Structure 1
Amino acid sequence: MPTNTELAPDDDSRNHAGDVIQLNTINDKPFEVADLLIAYLEQIGVEYIFGVPGGAIEPLYNAIARSSRRGRIRPMLARHESGAAFMADGYARETGKLGVCCATSGPGATNIITGVACAYDNSIPLLVITGQPALPAFGKRALQESSCTGIDTLGMLSHCTHYNSLVSHPEQLEQKIINALMRATRTPRGPVHLSFPVDVFRSPSKTAAYDLRALLQPPAMQDENATESLARLVRDSENVVIVIGGWCGEAAGVILQFAEIVGATFVTTPDGKGFINPAHPLYRGVFGFAGHTSAEAALRVEAVDLIIAIGTSMGEWTSSGWSESLLNKKLVHIDESDDHLARSPVARLHVRGRILSVFGRLAELMRDMRRPAHFPIMSSLQEPNRNLVLDESEKCASDAVPIKPQRLMRELGQLFPESTRFLADAGNSMAWAVHYLQLWDRRRSERRISGKDREAAIGRRKSEGGWLRVTVDFAPMGWAIGGAVGTAAANRDVPVVCITGDGSMLMNGQEISSAVAEELTVIFVVLNDAALGMVKHGQQLARAERIAFKLPATDFTAMARAMGADAYTIRSPDDFATLDMDAICMRKGPTLIDVHIDSEEVPPMSLRMRTLGTLV
């Protein structure tokens, strides 16, 4: 194979170890450390690097350009570095793969920290790449120096990454990229950070020598003794309730099958709602922030003798403020993460392992068991899925102007096809969506798979994110805006809906421009109430000073059109009929829908007020 020309997209540069570039030069230029980094990312199937370029990472972008011409990795230009991290987050949730983002030195690196911290607290696997001035310039006040002798961004990122290192010599790259990627993709998953001085990026390098794909395969770990103990507990229990958490993505189907086998009702955490069909007859609603009284009631019924919580962090919003209705001696907690399991010390049993493996084994142990649901409160609701005890549910049908947020959520559930991905932003947007947004035509459970692939594929999902995605621990405003762009980049075949507030749009709405440039089908639904809604209602509920929540009237349709997006204003329920949703969902580009909502409607946020100790 020639070694002095760049690979064409259809050239085969693979050897027996995998997709390994065997070139000494690319387009007559030496193979650099930046090319080696890109070669390893190509190996593991990275499609995009989300970021904002700059001088200190120019060699990285040169290597990305060469990869793009080979038909491999593409850059996706964010408008702000935090948006780049949010995009990588959205991409990772949609694909179940590693998200990659980058920033230049100094302010580029400090800008990206919020998005990295969000991924860290929500266990999203990211590789974060930042630049540095050349090594000889360290300590000389070089422009945007962010090493230990300047504004130490490496030190800042140490608090929100699982691996964090400066690559100070070309020979360090391979070991450090292996260490970083293993830490990003192993439990606890999350972001890792590598920082490169610009002269190290430009250093000549050997070609890739290792195949990282097998190394990064998730282990099928499982605590056999604990799993067998759980099977015995289930057999001996009369009434079982299952709590499906945000880390059940790949196993959601087999968990639902397990619930049907053992006759268990189930609830979800706010971040687990997107994995299930709200029409499932065993579903009792959301437990936790913005949840349903029916879910709380399901856990509190005296006859319940076993509660199985799966893939949940047991944080404030996912445990309903560490409620005793969940954290008690009836609880069995199943999770990959020791950190999550440590938050349920009261549980009678902890089952540690990959959730898909645990439930695959449970299915084998309990294959002869099938009993009808006989849960005491099931008989009180013939159609529990359509009669969840929702606060003020009649407002979902209200024709009032301004539009009730409850009505908006009902409309969104009916307007969009079942393949839609919804991302609800921090604040009121999340509260309204978690409580009221429903998609009734979702499949009841995972597609059954026959033949020899059944055992390997049972319960798996193409997307690990579910139909509704939220961020529950570190919850920055505007996360869903960038996250929706990354989601749409990962899957261009489905509509992506970002439910966000006017405050978040004013903070991070510039990423609409990124969706325009990439021709991504993202629908930005803005809840326009001229306020920081959660601040406003929180002050009202706490009888605090009413201060610093008002926003000026803003025409978000004009803002979106100025960036090249389509846009519509909705002021009354009748206006929804004017939307050609088929055309909006087929459009190769973003659309913004500016919805003027009733600003006096209080979202279901009492849990937040209670844990703050301010509910009056």
Structure 2
Amino acid sequence: MHLSGAEIVVECLKEQGVDTVFGYPGGAILNVYDALYKHQDEITHILTSHEQGAAHAADGYARSTGKIGVCLATSGPGATNLVTGIATAYMDSIPMVAITCNVTLPLLGKDSFQEVDITGITQPITKHNYIVKDIKELATVIRKSFRIAKSGRPGPVLIDITKDVTSNKTEYKPVKIDPILPDPEAVSAEELQVALEMIKKAKRPYVFVGGGAVLADASEEVRSFVKLLDAPVCDSLMGKGAFPGTDELYTGMLGMHGTKTSNFGVSECDLLIVLGARFSDRVTGNAKKFAHHAKILQFDVDPAEMDKNIMINAGVTGDLKESLKKMNEILSQQDHKEWIDRIMGYKSAYPMRYPQEGLTGPYIIEEIYRQTKGEAVISTEVGQHQMWAAQYYKYTKPRTLLTSGGLGTMGYGLGAAIGAKCGNPDKVVVNIAGDGCLRMNMNELATAARYQIPVIEVVINNHVLGMVRQWQDLFYEKRYSQTVLNDAVDFVKMAEAMGAVGIRAESRESFAKAFAKALTLGKPVLIDCQIDSDDKVWPMVSPGSSISEAFDASDLEEDEQ
């Protein structure tokens, strides 16, 4: 077939099984959009309100489906508007391909209209990137990009294509794309044997599950491993759902806003087994004091993560699903009843608590969990509401919490929810937002309304930048510098103006009624939930402190007495 570069782009997307893309057109990428128009019955294009929304939608599509997300943008500001979304995906190892187009080859490097070196800009935040100046290389580059994005440790890849390449023609030959499968032989038998000996010697093992377990689709292997090991389990924000939050051995999240049970238990264990986590500073607290009684055994696909943030005693490198399959074959049933009883004692002594009157963030999350029976896909923005969503919704399956963990991107969640709903049309998709975050992406509510994508936007509205204000309250002597959002924005009217349904909730009863209604409407709905400005996320670990020093409101009250 003799095709233009733009047609080759579309054919390569079809080769990869891409059914949905997110983007925004412009002059440099116009040829690609013209080719997409001719294939709109095969590839659905979602026109977002902003390119950043397109990147987040591709990210949410990828996180929730396990497929590669795809976003498109034109040159210059179109391409740079993708940068935050690409960086978000990079920090959380999300497979995504971003396709941008640039000015024609003769104009490249001459400060031409809407020209920018997007490959130079994105080099630090992509797994790999390309600029295609020769049409004969185009199909090969696209195929390589999809393989790179998905293989090993996943991540975003950017392809920049000069406009003349999209209009030039060359011979195109379709290729059958083989699935990307992990190599079981890549897992070292010697490393597994060392790990096995450490596990057998442990008296107080603890399992810490990270986002790598979700990305590797290793949840079944994780569950089997935990049962054989007979040990308590905690997780990171990114690891939610890889081990069910309803299991009796589960003790909650670890780290700055983790449970006291998990923080105390990890601080007292003699072996910490880390499954696909990178020891973020939000998890470890003071790194010098982290799990200081324990030997550390790390399983990870990326050898660069070994000894990066925390020095470990041994590691198993390779795909986590394959590593655990092999470990489960050689691990005999362990028994740690005394240790588990001790941790369960902590679990009884330090339950997650919040005020049982009035509308609060934790109540809202628990009511969403109750009404969705734990079966929803939850996306979040970043802040207090994000932590409440992590603490109070019981995730029993992987790929059901979509949140910006590494970069902490305010404005991520609504785009991600749209992408998730496009990829999972039969699932309830709820975005948990704060009022500060909503201001950064409220334009994407128009996207949901345009396509009648029935996402539910729950705004936990405290009229402040809640997490920053919490820090100001605790560590800056209540100097609320630029964190009060006391203005006249009416989110309900805004939602209605954009074509969505808007509902305000000021009590527990009104929220329960509003959410139940939202589940039945089949339309995008925004629920504006009015909560107190002083509500806080508990427990908490002060910056620079050990996670064993986690405290909550009751601890502060005792200190003041």
* TM-score normalised over the length of structure 1: 0.83
AA paired with 1:132? N
Secondary structure at the counterpart of residue 287 of structure 2: coil
Amino acid at match of 1:421: V
1:280 matched to 2:241? The reply is: no
Q: Secondary structure at the match of 2:39?
A: helix
Map 1:226-375 onto structure 2 (within 5 A).
226-249=191-214, 250-301=217-268, 304-322=269-287, 324-326=289-291, 329-343=294-308, 346-366=311-331, 369-375=332-338
The match for 2:384 is 428
Give the conservation status (yes or no) of the 8 Å contact 2:402–2:416: no
Out of 497, 500, 505, the residue aligned to residue 433 of structure 2 is 500
Aligned to 2:114: 144
**Residue type of the alignment partner of 1:411:** E
Report the alpha carbon displacement of residue 546 of structure 1 after superposing the two structures with TM: 2.2
Q: Distance in 2 between matches of 1:175 and 1:196?
A: 13
Shift of the 577–156 alpha-carbon distance from structure 1 to 2, 3 Å rule, reads closer
Residue 36 of structure 2 corresponds to which residue in structure 1? 64
CA displacement, residues 332-386 of structure 1 (integer Å, 9 cap, x when unaligned): 00010123224255211110010100111112112xx2244414352574794xx
Change (3 A) 1:535 1:561: same
Q: Note the C-alpha offset of 1:276.
A: 2.9
> For 1:499-518, what aligned pairs fall within 5 Å after superposition?
499-518=432-451
- 1:103 corresponds, among 73, 76, 79, to 73
Matched residue, 2:468: 535
Indicate the residue corresponding to 2:97 in structure 1. 127
CA contact (8 A) 2:275 2:298 kept: yes
1:230 maps to amino acid: A
1:558 is paired with a residue of what secondary structure?
helix
Pairwise CA distance, 1:295: 0.2
Q: Which secondary structure state, in structure 2, belongs to the residue aligned with residue 415 of structure 1?
A: helix
CA distance in 1 between partners of 2:15 and 2:527 (Å): 40
How many aligned positions are there?
543
Mapped contact 1:127–1:184 kept (Cα < 8 A): yes
**Retained in 2: the 8 A contact 1:281–1:383?**
no
**Cα distance in 2 for residues equivalent to 1:378 and 1:325:** 23
Question: Which moves more between the two structures, 495-504 or 552-561?
Answer: 552-561
| Alpha-carbon distance in 2 for matches of 1:511, 1:483 | 10
Residue from 51, 71, 83 that aligns with 1:113: 83
List per-residue Cα deviations over 1:408-436 (Å, max 9, x = no partner).
Answer: 22222212233201112211121222233
Equivalent pairs: percent with the same residue?
A: 27
Q: Which amino acid aligns with 1:237?
A: A
In structure 2, relative to structure 1, the CA distance for the partners of 1:522 and 1:75 (3 Å cut) is same
Residue 65 of structure 1, CA deviation:
2.0
Question: In the TM superposition, what is the alpha-carbon distance from 1:209 to its structure 2 partner?
Answer: 4.1
1:554 aligns to 2:554 (yes or no) = no
Please name the residue that 1:189 is paired with. 154
Q: Aligned to 2:14, which of 42, 56, 62?
A: 42
Correspondence for 1:177: 142
**Alpha-carbon separation, structure 1, partners of 2:97 and 2:310:** 32
* Pair 1:411–1:345, CA change in 2 (3 A): closer
User: Residue 405 of structure 1: which of 343, 355, 361 is its match?
Assistant: 361
Q: CA RMSD in A?
A: 2.4
| Residue equivalent to 1:376 | 339
- Cα deviation for residue 32 of structure 1 reads 1.0
- Paired with 1:521 and 1:122, the residues of 2 have a C-alpha distance of 26
TM-score (norm: length of structure 2) = 0.91
- How far apart in 1 are the matches of 2:404 and 2:287? 18
Query: How far apart are 1:176 and its partner, in Å?
Result: 2.0
Counterparts in 2 of 1:253 and 1:326: CA distance versus 1, 3 Å: farther
For 1:585, the equivalent position in structure 2 comes to 519
Judge which range, 105-114 or 543-552, deviates more: 543-552
Match of 1:474 among 407, 412, 416: 407
Q: Partner letter of residue 222 of structure 1?
A: V
SS of the equivalent of 1:55 reads coil
Secondary structure at the counterpart of residue 81 of structure 2: helix
Verify the 8 A CA contact 1:50 1:87 in the aligned structure 2: yes
- Give the Cα–Cα distance (whole angstroms) in 1 for the partners of residues 532 and 354 of structure 2: 15
Give, in angstroms, the shift of residue 580 of structure 1: 6.0
* 1:604 paired residue among 530, 534, 538: 538
Are 2:394 and 1:438 equivalent residues in the alignment?
yes
What aligned pairs does 1:75-114 form with structure 2 within 5 A after superposition? 75-114=45-84
Instruction: In structure 1, give the amino acid aligned to 2:126.
Output: T
Question: Compared with structure 1, are the counterparts of its residues 164 and 517 closer, same or farther at alpha carbon in structure 2 (3 Å cutoff)?
Answer: same
- Cα 1:378–1:157, aligned 2, differ >3 Å: closer, same or farther? same
Are the structure 2 counterparts of residues 156 and 269 from structure 1 closer, same or farther at C-alpha, using a change threshold of 3 Å?
same
Aligned residue for 1:28? none
Of 180, 188, 202, the match for 2:167: 202
**Secondary structure of the structure 2 residue equivalent to 1:318:** helix
Decide whether aligned partners of structure 1 residues 139 and 312 sit closer, same or farther in structure 2, where only a CA change above 3 A counts: closer
Distance across 1 between alignment mates of 2:405 and 2:369 = 21
Q: Look up the equivalent residue of 2:328 and give its one-letter code.
A: A
**CA–CA distance in structure 1, aligned partners of residues 540 and 507 of structure 2:** 28
Change (3 A) 1:159 1:605: farther
Decide whether the 8 Å contact of 1:328 with 1:346 is kept in 2. Answer: no
Cα offset for 1:328? 6.3
- 1:159 pairs with one of 107, 116, 124: 124
In 2, Cα distance between equivalents of 1:268 and 1:168: 45
1:416 aligns with 2:388: no
Corresponding residue number in structure 1 for 2:511: 576
User: How many angstroms apart in 2 are the aligned matches of 1:48 and 1:481?
Assistant: 17
Larger displacement relative to structure 2 (497-506 or 161-170): 161-170
Q: 1:14 matched to which residue of 2?
A: none
CA shift in 2, pair 1:360/1:247, >3 Å: same
Which 5+ residue runs of structure 1 have no aligned equivalent? Answer: 1-22, 25-30, 147-151, 443-460
CA separation in 1, counterparts of 2:492 and 2:93?
34
Counterpart CA distance in 1 for 2:286 and 2:431 is: 27
Q: CA deviation at 1:226?
A: 0.8
Code of the residue aligned with 1:399 in structure 2: it is E
Please name the residue that 1:457 is paired with.
none
- Alignment match of 2:350 (pick from 378, 389, 405): 389
- For 1:605 and 1:171, the matched residues in 2 are separated by 57
**Aligned with 1:279: secondary structure?**
coil
